[in-house]
Structure 1
Amino acid sequence: MLRPVMERRLSYTPMNVSAHKLPRLPILGRWDARLDLEDELYGDLATIAGDPTLREPRRIRFVTDQAGFRNERIPPQIDLLVLGDSFGAGWGTTQDNIFARLLETRYGRLVYNLFYPGGPYNQYLDFVLESPRLGLSPQVKMVWTFYTGNDLDDAGGEVWDLSVLPWRNQVGEWIVRYCTFRNRSPLNQLMEGWRARWGGRTEGVVVRRLPDGRAVLFLSSHEAWGLRSRSDVERHPNFPKLERTFVAMRALAGERGVPVTVLILPTKGEIYRWLLAQRPSAEWEAEPSGFAQAVLAACELAQLCCLDAKPSLVEEARRVFDATGDLFWWRDDTHSNDYGHRAIAELIARDVLGLAGCIKGE
């Protein structure tokens, strides 16, 4: 009875309300199909902090296709697949301004957006499941994004033999759908919120102030990854699984004729280290993180192309902030804003697709 009036109010974003497990393979998730929503939201860090004065409200349009991915349409011949987690999905950014959409509208590519929250193993399985149904052009490419802040926190999977994945039968699918219905209950969401508060999961937000007094929030657990050495990253228990996933993706994408470029995306604090550390900016801040060094080496072993976005984004972010005072991230969020998505789209067009200076209509 509470659902019609409370369901949306209990989440800071409609992207949470509309998420569910995939019934036939519930280790994966999707958004509800064929959505076209307009709503106001604020950032994940403001939610964690629990302080309404730290919010940066904005309105977004959120559209999904029949498979539950964030696409306006499915091109009959796709020449660019984009794959990754919530960072690329545009958590908190309106539909027309996410970089998958900009690569279509500004650079004229026929794009299919496979972004959904989850780790590299989940993304590999998303490619496994979804690519056969898509019309891929002979010139298709795929950009697979990795987010420094939490991709190795995901434990990944144990099964790369696709025939033995934990598929559900009809009864199992019905149980997954029932669990989705139950989990969306406002009462359940209230209890989850209380558990989070009592369990200490509201900690870890760092608040800094810009010269004009605006608050900028960082998540300490994400920023710790940007400071780890390459050896620390490679010793992490989840790193061998990441290497195995790279090898599996290289083999499968090769079979399906899809060249892959891995794009390493930095954390907010890597781009704005001067603000997080409360000191002047330094040239060394653009150098690759230990995470990036480890992923670059793993990609080389797996024979995957790999690009670190950090140097380019650090340089462009400095230029934009000095000129206008604008940031590439939402101030209250771990995800990039309109300016950040525009910079990532430009980087992909220039360094992956070879479209430097080529913007549709110009």
Structure 2
Amino acid sequence: MVNTGSMKKNDTPSILLASLSIGLVWLYFALVLLLGRSIGGMSVGLTFIASSIPFVASLVFILIRYVMHRGLIKSQQILTVSLGLILSLGSLIIADIAYSLYLNSRAFEKPHIENSRQYDPAFVGGELYPRRFFPTDENFWLYKPNLSVKGTHYGHFYHPELMQSPILAKSVFELHQFSCSIDQHGLRNTTPMGQADVLALGDSFTFGWAMDREKSWVGLLEHAIHRPIYNLGIDGASPKQELELLKYLLRTQEPSMRIRKILWMIYEGNDLEGSYESERPKPSSPSYTNQLFKGTLVQGLITIPSLIKEQAIITKLLNGDVALRFPTFQARDYNPYVIDGIRSWFPFFQSPVLGPRLFYPKYIEEAQQPLSYVLHHPNTPHLNQVFREMALLEKEFSFQVIVIIVPTGERLHGPFYENFPPISAEPHFIDYVSKVSESLGFQTLNLLSKLKPYADNELLYFRDDSHWNQRGHELAAEIIRSEVFQQ
């Protein structure tokens, strides 16, 4: 009697092809979903993924042999499924590449800078502002101490080629007067640390970007309450870095500090996306493998796995770089990235009341994100931990923390501009931070709701920068005085 369920010798190529196809599919999804992530406290690297491929392929080989031996599936079916998997994987990779090419075609080129232009005195943010440095191996900055600077500069959105646009040159770009004094502790203060019982903690909004100290909200509030405020603002700092700075000062300067209140400013724009590492970034040095294969074909092959992960549509969706949403219809003849025939990195919009302004595209994208972007962001658990640690410090050192949440100009003013892209109905990050803050017992001040009554009639942010203008600082100081210090 012939056993119809027995496996034939010529079935082996089909099984090998099936094992290979499933192994390739596993490799793709492992690179896209697992590479660089942490599982059970262990970081998944190329070595782990490479070593898993023989295991997966062998397991598939044994399983298919068993199924075919039982007569549950035929060799032709195995061959069809294998070819289907390979074609599907190839189509997925082609789609990834095509979508990356599409995004590249939509991206605007960096404006041309004349080779003869060695230095542009109109934008000296990197030269005028004090340098930051890591004083310890912990992840926080201080400024170069005992430094005073004074000068003028345009906002972050400035570029010399954009000055060829009449409307930008006349109505958007404005020279901002700026002076700054850094004390012996590496912070922007003229008052000795020991004389202040109120600390202002935050990023560039607290530092007072493009504002003289007496015109910033810290200086205005200090004058209004007749109490010195010590400014711990560091531009570009994340909540984690702000916490580490405070812990450092409590550790090294605590005997001379008499803190009663900390005004902790959280910014919607980039505080979720900032740095949450525990240690300062280490200078990267080439690995032995990279040095060994430098200049060879192998060096190019080593970069392929990371390129596959980077260009995958799945990666872009998981990271929130793109979102699935229905298309919106705007005037076809309007391109906010072309101003008077000149390409710009920053979109330009007009408001009948507020006038012209440039906006930051990254903040527009973030304002469009759903709640899941905040809930599933890899930094969200770290942000929660930062708040918990701040609550412990508040209890240990007997000071009061007031959390002040600052909206972006894109969220506050964007809806009042013509052709502005639609944003989420709810400010998800602001609401999330408010909920976390209040659950820990912090007094929480949401400036979005407090500034909204002014947003349709008064511009509170610079036209060429993402920071508050003079009016924005004035309102912030008055609101904080009224909500926090009013007797």
> If the TM-score is normalised by the length of the shorter chain, which range does it land in?
0.7 to 0.9
How many angstroms apart in 1 are the aligned matches of 2:246 and 2:232? 8
How many angstroms apart in 2 are the aligned matches of 1:317 and 1:17? 29
CA contact (8 A) 1:217 1:331 kept: yes
Name the residue aligned to 2:262.
142
The equivalent position to 1:97 in structure 2, one of 203, 212, 215, is 215
- Alignment RMSD, CA only? 3.1
Deviates more, 1:119-128 or 1:31-40: 31-40
How far off is 1:18 after superposition? 2.2
Q: 1:222 to 1:97 in 2, by over 3 A?
A: same
* 1:208 matches 2:328: no
* 1:311 matches 2:452: no
How far off is 1:352 after superposition? 1.9
Q: 1:213 to 1:293 in 2, by over 3 A?
A: closer
* 1:294 matches 2:432: yes
How many angstroms apart in 2 are the aligned matches of 1:131 and 1:97? 28
How many angstroms apart in 1 are the aligned matches of 2:354 and 2:391? 47
CA contact (8 A) 1:149 1:223 kept: no
Deviates more, 1:28-37 or 1:121-130: 28-37
Name the residue aligned to 1:51.
162
Q: How does 1:167-246 map to 2 (within 5 A)?
A: 204-211=345-352, 215-246=356-387
CA contact (8 A) 1:31 1:69 kept: yes
* 1:123 matches 2:250: no
Task: In structure 2, give the amino acid aligned to 1:87.
Answer: F
* 1:271 matches 2:412: yes
The equivalent position to 1:18 in structure 2, one of 123, 130, 151, is 130
Question: Percent identity, aligned pairs only?
Answer: 24
How far off is 1:44 after superposition? 0.6
Q: 1:298 to 1:38 in 2, by over 3 A?
A: same
Which ranges in structure 1 are unaligned for 5 or more consecutive residues?
Answer: 1-5, 160-164, 173-201, 356-362
Name the residue aligned to 1:28.
140
How many angstroms apart in 2 are the aligned matches of 1:7 and 1:45? 17
CA contact (8 A) 1:150 1:225 kept: no
Q: 1:245 to 1:7 in 2, by over 3 A?
A: farther
CA contact (8 A) 1:14 1:39 kept: no
Task: In structure 1, give the amino acid aligned to 2:273.
Answer: D
The equivalent position to 1:259 in structure 2, one of 400, 404, 418, is 400
- State how many pairs are aligned: 300
Name the residue aligned to 1:41.
153
CA contact (8 A) 2:123 2:154 kept: no
TM-score by length of 2: 0.56
How many angstroms apart in 2 are the aligned matches of 1:260 and 1:212? 37
How far off is 1:258 after superposition? 1.6
SS in 1 for 2:197: strand
SS in 1 for 2:194: coil
Q: 1:113 to 1:250 in 2, by over 3 A?
A: same
Name the residue aligned to 1:360.
none
Q: Deviations over 1:29-82 (max 9, x none)?
A: 2222222222011101224x9523342112121121111211122253322111
Task: In structure 2, give the amino acid aligned to 1:256.
Answer: F
Q: 1:106 to 1:218 in 2, by over 3 A?
A: same
Q: 1:141 to 1:277 in 2, by over 3 A?
A: farther
Deviates more, 1:117-126 or 1:61-70: 61-70
Say which structure is richer in strand.
Answer: 1
* 1:336 matches 2:468: yes
Deviates more, 1:119-128 or 1:15-24: 15-24
CA contact (8 A) 1:98 1:341 kept: yes
How many angstroms apart in 1 are the aligned matches of 2:133 and 2:122? 19
How far off is 1:228 after superposition? 2.9
Which ranges in structure 2 are unaligned for 5 or more consecutive residues?
Answer: 1-117, 164-168, 284-342
How many angstroms apart in 2 are the aligned matches of 1:15 and 1:271? 31
How many angstroms apart in 2 are the aligned matches of 1:29 and 1:58? 25
Q: Deviations over 1:218-241 (max 9, x none)?
A: 102113333333333111111111
SS in 2 for 1:349: helix
How far off is 1:243 after superposition? 0.2
How many angstroms apart in 2 are the aligned matches of 1:257 and 1:8? 48
CA contact (8 A) 1:225 1:291 kept: no
